[in-house]
Amino acid sequence: MTTYQDRSNHSALLMARSGFVGALSENYETRISRIERLGIHLFRVANCLVSFGNLSARFDRGENSVIALEALFCDSQSFPDEIRVICDTRLDSEFVPHRMVSGDPNIRFFATHPIVDSARNIVGSLNLIDYQPHEFDDEHRLLLADLAVMVERELILSAMQQTQLELIKQNRNLKRESLIDPILGTWNKPAIIRSLRIEMERCGKAGKPISLLFASLDQIAAIRDFHGIATSDMVLVNIVSRIRSCIRPFDALGRFGSDIFLMVLPGASHLVATAVAERIRLSIMSHPDTIDEKSIDLTISAGIISTDIFPDAEPEALIAYAEKALLSARNAGNNRVVQAMPEQPDITI
């Protein structure tokens, strides 16, 4: 049975193959310019300009003086309610006095068609300009109307694109929020485990080791019991900041349990991981926290496991070994780092 996800993936593939995704990525002005070039060749006029008001802002008067004047001429005209064609401006009483008709650049032909939005509101105009009179029959009028419809569809496509981009941004934010611990700002448990699996596969292909570091604040239970959850959370926020200063930007830090942090260190051997853990331990020891205006000394215990020592371990096994190493550090009196080794009595492989 074909699922919705299958149909969605198939549709995305068709869109990519058809170039639809590429069309969406094009700049809106680029797509409008394409229609303008088509209008020039279709009607054999000097210029075709799409205006949504203040058309002059599109052009540099110094570099493109003629185009700038044409844009000014279009700006001087209000958006039409319907198609309007002036085959020879010098024979039209309204246009004869216009300074760009009687003087430079001496515009002789002008045709304009309204552009409407999805609510049928007039939002712009499609304009043809030339410097000699033109005959403009019913077929030309239909072609101009068709060209205006193309512009209107670009408006709709642009609006859809903007909506799509907003939805993508919202979905990314929602997805990220679902992976972040709301209090500490670290990855949550599912996210850090996912990161571990990804990095293990990546390091395995590259032939590099990977290390896990489990850490917990030795005093957190006492702080929570005496000062409450809010205070203990604030202490953990400070701990996270100190941990981040000791690891690399691409190392992953997550809240594995209420009081336990898991760090994934791609490319790190057991020696590197031990050095990182010691750096974290010393950083926390050297920065006492203040609770109720009293300074409190803080320490952590940490357990480490590395694939250069356990090369065949699966992610679940690595986590279990690291947890046991952390437990060993706690049982040994806290404020220490323990490296998981195969010869340890409580670790079998």
DSSP 154-167: HHHHHHHHHHHHHH
What is the total count of domains within the chain? 2
Same domain, 121 and 160: yes
Same domain, 328 and 200: yes
Same domain, 154 and 210: no
Average pLDDT over residues 80-97: 94
Q: What is the CATH number of the domain that holds 210?
A: 3.30.70.270
Residue 266 lies in a domain: yes
Residue 99 lies in a domain: yes
Q: Give the type of residue at 261.
A: F
Residue 305 lies in a domain: yes
| pLDDT tens per residue across span 239-256 | 999 999 999 999 999 999
Higher pLDDT, 2 or 238: 238
Residue whose C-alpha is closest to residue 303's, from 326, 282, 319: 326
Same domain, 24 and 134: yes
For residue 122, list its beta bridge partners. Answer: 116
Same domain, 168 and 199: no
For residue 263, list its beta bridge partners. Answer: 213, 253
Same domain, 160 and 232: no
The two tokens of residue 266 are 């791609």
Same domain, 266 and 295: yes
Collapsed DSSP state (helix, strand, coil) of residue 259: coil
Residue that is last in its domain, among 174, 207, 237: 174
H helix or E strand, kind and range, residue 337: strand 337-339
Residue that is last in its domain, among 150, 174, 198: 174
Residue 202 lies in a domain: yes
- Residue 64 is predicted with a pLDDT of 54
Residue 12 lies in a domain: yes
The Cα angle at residue 232 between residues 230 and 234, in degrees rounded to 5: 70
Q: Which domain holds residue 150?
A: 4-174
Same domain, 170 and 311: no
- Residue 7 is predicted with a pLDDT of 37
Average pLDDT over residues 69-94: 94
Higher pLDDT, 298 or 2: 298
Give the integer Cα–Cα distance in Å for 323 and 256: 10
| pLDDT tens per residue across span 21-53 | 444 456 778 888 999 999 999 999 999 999 998
| pLDDT tens per residue across span 331-342 | 999 999 999 988
Same domain, 279 and 130: no
Q: What is the CATH number of the domain that holds 107?
A: 3.30.450.40
- Residue 20 is predicted with a pLDDT of 41
Same domain, 40 and 155: yes
Higher pLDDT, 260 or 60: 260
Instruction: Compute the half-sphere exposure of residue 89: CA atoms within 13 Å on the CB side of its CA.
Output: 22
Residue that is last in its domain, among 151, 174, 197: 174
Lowest mean pLDDT among 61-65, 139-143, 150-154: 61-65
User: Chain-centre distance of CA 210, in angstroms?
Assistant: 29
Name the pLDDT band for 6 (thresholds 50, 70, 90). very low
Residue 144 lies in a domain: yes
Give the integer Cα–Cα distance in Å for 177 and 183: 11
Residue whose C-alpha is closest to residue 107's, from 62, 56, 45: 45
Same domain, 39 and 140: yes
Give the integer Cα–Cα distance in Å for 224 and 226: 6
Residue 348 lies in a domain: no
Give the integer Cα–Cα distance in Å for 290 and 205: 46
The Cα angle at residue 21 between residues 19 and 24, in degrees rounded to 5: 110
Residue 299 lies in a domain: yes
Same domain, 205 and 242: yes
Count other Cβ atoms within 10 Å, centred on residue 230: 9
Collapsed DSSP state (helix, strand, coil) of residue 296: strand
